[in-house]
Amino acid sequence: MAVNRVPVLKRCRALGIEPVHLGYDKKSNRSNQRGQRKISEYGLQLREKQKAKFIYGVLEKPFRNYYDKAVRMKGLTGENLLAMLECRLDNVVFRMGFARTRREARQVVGHKHFLVNGKRVNIPSYLVKAGDIIEVREKSRPLQRYNDIIEVAGGRIPPDWMEVDHESFRGRIKNIPTRESIDVPVNEMLIVELYSK
């Protein structure tokens, strides 16, 4: 599997993203003001795609597959794409406050710490549906790691499309997220324009 070894804060600066959107507490203290050039229309579209891929931790081929699936769905393609990315299991675990960052969420899902509707799932790209119950496995609950994570990330307010109970280490997906409830700084229309060329 391909691994991106570029430091997170450096990549955030290059793309103009605040690290808070990735779960990091640090604010980027240096702005990318050096050598500002006029960016072409294609450059803007490409940057938006790279932002979305970086925020959700998705590589090019799976991202393209999400886009193709979003085109076939009813509704606006860009909103469908973001809703699918939000419904990935690693993102849901991060949003519920069971991981400090999306990278950590991907790791704990891969290590089989989570159950979806009572079944163990270790695929970070697993798409959850409305009504699904996500919980930390019984054996993993006493681990100090989860107490530390909930202490740090438990104060994060979960989105309105899910409900979370940190005492019982479980959460439920109330409905599929709409664009208004997704707070990532990505202009999805530019991504659609890029792929529809």
Q: The CATH number of the domain where 106 resides is what?
A: 3.10.290.10
Sorting pLDDT into bands at 50, 70 and 90, what band is 5?
Answer: confident
Pick 168 or 4 by higher pLDDT: 168
> What mean pLDDT do residues 82-95 have?
94
pLDDT at 173 exceeding the cut of 70:
yes
Task: With respect to residue 3, please indicate whether it lies within any of the assigned structural domains.
Answer: no
Say which amino acid occupies 163: E
Task: Report d(CA 156, CA 97) in Å as an integer.
Answer: 6
Q: pTM for the full model?
A: 0.86
Angstrom distance (rounded) from CA 145 to CA 35: 43
Which tokens hold the place of 64? 């393209």
Total number of domains constituting the chain: 2
Report phi then psi at 160, rounded to 5: -70, -10
One domain, residues 142 and 189:
no
Model confidence at 35, pLDDT cuts 50, 70, 90, reads low
- Residue 168 included in any domain: yes
132: in domain: yes
pLDDT digits (tens, 9 = 90+) for 10-32: 888 888 888 777 777 765 555 55
Backbone angles phi, psi at 167, to 5 degrees: -65, -40
- Residue 161 included in any domain: yes
User: What's the confidence (pLDDT) of residue 22?
Assistant: 74
Q: How far apart are CA 176 and CA 36, in angstroms?
A: 39
Mean pLDDT of 76-93: 95
Q: Return the amino acid letter for 96.
A: M
d(CA 54, CA 13): 12
- Range(s) of the domain holding residue 151: 88-176
Give me the torsion for CA of 147, 153, 157, 162, rounded to 10°.
-70
Same domain, 106 and 171: yes
